[in-house]
Amino acid sequence: MTAINPTSLAAAWSRSRRAGLAFRAAGEADIAFLSRLYASTRMEELAVTGWSEVQKAAFLDMQFQAQHAHYHAHYPEADWLVVEHAREDIGRLYIERWPSQHRIIDIAFLPAHRRKGHGTALLRDLIDEAWLSGKYVSIHVEKNSPARRLYLELGFAVVEDKGVYDLMACAPAAGEVMAANPEIG
Question: What CATH number is associated with residue 14?
Answer: 3.40.630.30
Strand-pair category, 136-142 with 165-170 = antiparallel
pLDDT digits (tens, 9 = 90+) for 23-58: 999 999 999 999 999 999 998 888 888 899 999 999
What HEC string does the chain produce? Answer: CCCCCHHHHHHHCHHHHHCCEEEEECCHHHHHHHHHHHHHHHHHHHCCCCCCHHHHHHHHHHHHHHHHHHHHHHCCCCEEEEEEECCEEEEEEEEEECCCEEEEEEEEECHHHCCCCHHHHHHHHHHHHHHHCCCEEEEEEECCCCCHHHHHHCCCEEEEEECCEEEEEECCHHHHHHHHCCCCC
- In a domain, residue 65? The reply is no
According to the model, what pLDDT value does residue 11 have?
57
pTM: 0.86
Q: Among candidates 149, 99, 158, which has minimal Cα distance to 123?
A: 149
- In a domain, residue 32? The reply is no
Quick one: angle between helices 31-46 and 53-74, nearest 10? 120
According to the model, what pLDDT value does residue 153 have?
94
- Which domain does 139 fall in, by range? 6-25+78-180
- In a domain, residue 59? The reply is no
According to the model, what pLDDT value does residue 178 have?
43
According to the model, what pLDDT value does residue 64 have?
97
- In a domain, residue 56? The reply is no
- In a domain, residue 124? The reply is yes
- In a domain, residue 106? The reply is yes
Q: Among candidates 64, 60, 54, 57, which has minimal Cα distance to 34?
A: 64
- In a domain, residue 92? The reply is yes
- In a domain, residue 85? The reply is yes
Specify whether the CB–CB gap between 102 and 120 falls below 8 A: no
| Cα(171)–Cα(61) distance, integer angstroms | 35
According to the model, what pLDDT value does residue 3 have?
56
Give how many domains the chain has, as a whole number.
1
According to the model, what pLDDT value does residue 1 have?
36
Q: Could you give the C-alpha distances from 104 to 57, 126, 159, in angstroms and in order? A: 27, 9, 15
User: Nearest 5°: phi and psi at 148?
Assistant: -55, -40
Question: Average pLDDT by consecutive 10-residue portion of the chain (185 residues)?
Answer: 52 87 96 97 88 94 97 96 97 96 97 95 94 93 92 95 95 54 45
